[in-house]
Structure 1
Amino acid sequence: MKIILLTAITYLFYLISKWGYKKWNNPLFSPLLLTPLLLIAFITIFHISAGSYLQSSKLLTHLLGPATIAFAVPIYKHRLLLKKYYMIILVSVTTGTIVAIISSYFLSILINLQSDFIISIIPRSITTPIAIEVSQDIGGLPTLTTVFVILTGIIGGIIGPYAIKLLALKSSIAKGLTLGMGAHGVGTSKAMEIGEQEATFSTLAMILAAWITVVWGSSLIPLLMNVMSSS
């Protein structure tokens, strides 16, 4: 009964947030920002522990995998377009993953984060299921990594459209890759609001970023960790 109740409440908060976002079109009403805040307020008021909530809402967490796989549909639909621009996509996403990892590392060093935090924050720019695996492989804390991934997605999803407007990006490729690389799943959701082609390129950027970061997990990331341990 508790599982059904908390799942239903989570979905209700999401619907309320989505309604507010559609009505006022304000980033502060983004479902991915407002829904967690409503949930935090709810479990705090009713004295529900975070562990208990996570245990009771596992159904929603398990749906994350199938939802990620479903992104393959637009990729297949626009496969000829992706084949045409494959080199631009590959170079852009590879560069994006390197920038994400190195910037995360040096910003963490700059604000004097502990080593566990640094290792956990490095895989923040990829989709949650893969980020958790990378975090485990490099000795990070998967729960902490999940928090950083969510924060990256929410912030990227909010400022992404403004960045696109500021940079005057016109190409659907540029818009999609920017949102997918910068905000993974959340960015892809935002790209879907712009157009189908943007969503396709965003999806591919998110998937490629995850694969490439897995490769960096056995090369670039250990190098940075060695630098950290020797300094």
Structure 2
Amino acid sequence: MSNFQLSVLCLVITLGIYFANKRLYRRFRKLPLMPLVLTPALLVLMLVFGHISWQNYIGESHWLLWLLGPATIAFAVPVYDNLAVIKRHWMSLTAGVVTATLVAVTSSVWLARLFMLPDEIQRSLAVRSVTTPFALAAAEPLGGQPDLVALFVVVTGVFGMAVGDVLFLRLSIREGMAKGAGFGAASHGAGTARSYELGQQEGVVASLVMMLSGVVMVLVSPLVARLMF
């Protein structure tokens, strides 16, 4: 089998696993069965046990990464449909986004330094709390490694989504907008998906906060690079 044929086969398998996983998750709403969790795990097993290199896998699957950008922008549609709600709370949402972004960056870098992690990991961790397209753009002036950035973003999103409901319960947070803002700021895409499961308002706020957090991170990343590295 040629490299091209192998790449095409990997693309077909990737899409097949993903759509099968989505159907499975619709039937059994369990965290380990989420497409963001189970699909990557199955693909990693396929690459490892099939002795398939990353270059062969990504050859014809690279456009799936490109689709992350349009997919993120698509979250703006429900935001536009709910502008009235957003206008009423724009000040608190803006303050929350800026605060959450700064706390995420500083805490990530300081903890990485506390545990004496390598410099490239520190730089890659700094942008872990924004969704992948924004994180990759923000990582450039910081000198982060794209593969590490993508890994940390996914882990952060899944972890935040997994513990979010528990934290809201423990902290007695019942307001839908607060839950949406928390998920959007702390666990970006995964949290936004979870927010839409909770309700329309939660999902809209999470979408807005996720996008604003990404924009803020991209804008402040050159300053972070100068001040912290």
Q: TM-score, normalised by structure 2?
A: 0.92
- 1:3 Cα deviation after fit: 4.1
Q: What is the aligned counterpart of 2:101 among 59, 80, 97? A: 97
2:187 is the alignment partner of 1:183: yes
1:1-231 to 2 correspondences below 5 Å: 1-225=5-229
Structural RMSD (CA): 1.6
Letter in 2 for 1:175: K
- 1:206 Cα deviation after fit: 0.6
Letter in 2 for 1:63: L
Unaligned runs of 5+ in 2: none
- 1:50 Cα deviation after fit: 1.9
In 2, Cα distance between equivalents of 1:175 and 1:212: 20
Q: TM-score, normalised by structure 1?
A: 0.91
CA contact 1:180–1:203 (8 Å) conserved in 2? yes
Unaligned runs of 5+ in 1: 226-231
Q: Percent identity?
A: 35
CA contact 1:7–1:60 (8 Å) conserved in 2? no
Q: Does the C-alpha gap of structure 1 residues 168 and 19 become closer, same or farther in structure 2, counting only changes over 3 Å? A: farther
Letter in 1 for 2:67: L
Instruction: State the SS of the aligned residue for 2:222.
Output: coil
CA contact 2:11–2:57 (8 Å) conserved in 1? no
Query: Which piece of structure 1 moves more, 4-13 or 98-107?
Result: 4-13
- 1:130 Cα deviation after fit: 1.4
Q: Deviations over 1:183-225 (max 9, x none)?
A: 1111111111111111110011111101111232122442121
Q: Deviations over 1:13-65 (max 9, x none)?
A: 22333344333322122211111110011111211012321223112112111
CA contact 1:2–1:56 (8 Å) conserved in 2? no
Query: Which piece of structure 1 moves more, 118-127 or 56-65?
Result: 56-65
In 1, Cα distance between equivalents of 2:66 and 2:170: 37
Letter in 2 for 1:98: L
Query: Which piece of structure 1 moves more, 49-58 or 15-24?
Result: 15-24
Query: After TM superposition, where is structure 1 displaced by more than 4 Å over at least 4 residues in a row?
Result: none
In 1, Cα distance between equivalents of 2:58 and 2:167: 33
Q: Deviations over 1:62-93 (max 9, x none)?
A: 21111111111011000111011000101111
